[in-house]
Amino acid sequence: MSKPREFLDKDRNIAMKYYDLCEYDRSTKKALTILKRELKYLISEDPYFLDSYSDYYQILMNENSFIEARVIINRAYKNALKLILDENKKWPDSLEWGFIENRHIIRAILNKAIDEWSAENETVALDLFRNLLKTNPRDNAGVRFYILAILMGMSFEKYENKFNKDGYYDSSSWEWFAKNSNKFEDEFPSVD
């Protein structure tokens, strides 16, 4: 039996530049134009630091630039796979959120899965969510809720309308999960 493969990304120097940009004004069209230019620069400087893509993707989604947003998140996803897949194109056994270095990868894959779900490609989204849950069973990103929603036939829009309370999720999503997850016990193994 082979040893489980744990993925841990390297520390990326560009992260500090990105976090400085997170404080940037987003209230005007001019400010967003400058921010998008800076994010493009960060992407060119380190195409494997994926938070730059994720932020750019969110801005484009907010601007209803869906085609361009999809191009950006697809690039991030492809680069995420280049980082984590082994020579046999297998996901690592562990891609833990607990390592700060991995969070940009998890967020990029999460955004890709949500994008697929929003485009009604539930099979693709479900596969990505399942891989994220399998490699990070503590599920800091909350993908188990998305898996359950898809299995129960909910669209992403319906899920968001039901549980997103102006950018945060209250206890109602936990209560809903506790009530319905037992219908799909094989999907949600317990975590020690």
pLDDT tens for the chain, 192 residues: list them. Answer: 678 899 999 999 999 999 999 888 888 999 999 999 999 999 999 999 999 999 999 999 999 999 999 999 999 999 999 999 999 999 999 999 999 999 999 999 999 999 999 999 999 999 999 999 999 999 999 999 999 999 999 999 999 999 998 888 888 999 999 999 999 989 986 655
Q: State the Cα–Cα distance between residues 145 and 180, nearest whole angstrom.
A: 10
Neighbouring-strand partners of residue 165 = 168
For residues 97 and 141, is the Cβ–Cβ distance under 8 A?
A: yes
- DSSP 8-state assignment for residue 9: P
Q: Go through the domains of the chain in sequence order and give each one's CATH number.
A: 15-187 (1.25.40.10)
Q: State the Cα–Cα distance between residues 70 and 145, nearest whole angstrom.
A: 23
Distances (CA, A) of 138 to 53, 75, 132: 25, 27, 10
For residues 83 and 9, is the Cβ–Cβ distance under 8 A?
A: yes
What pTM value is reported for the model?
Answer: 0.94
For residues 50 and 105, is the Cβ–Cβ distance under 8 A?
A: yes
The closest of 83, 76, 81, 74 to 39, measured between CA atoms, is 76
Q: State the Cα–Cα distance between residues 68 and 188, nearest whole angstrom.
A: 34
Residue holding tokens 């929003």? 118
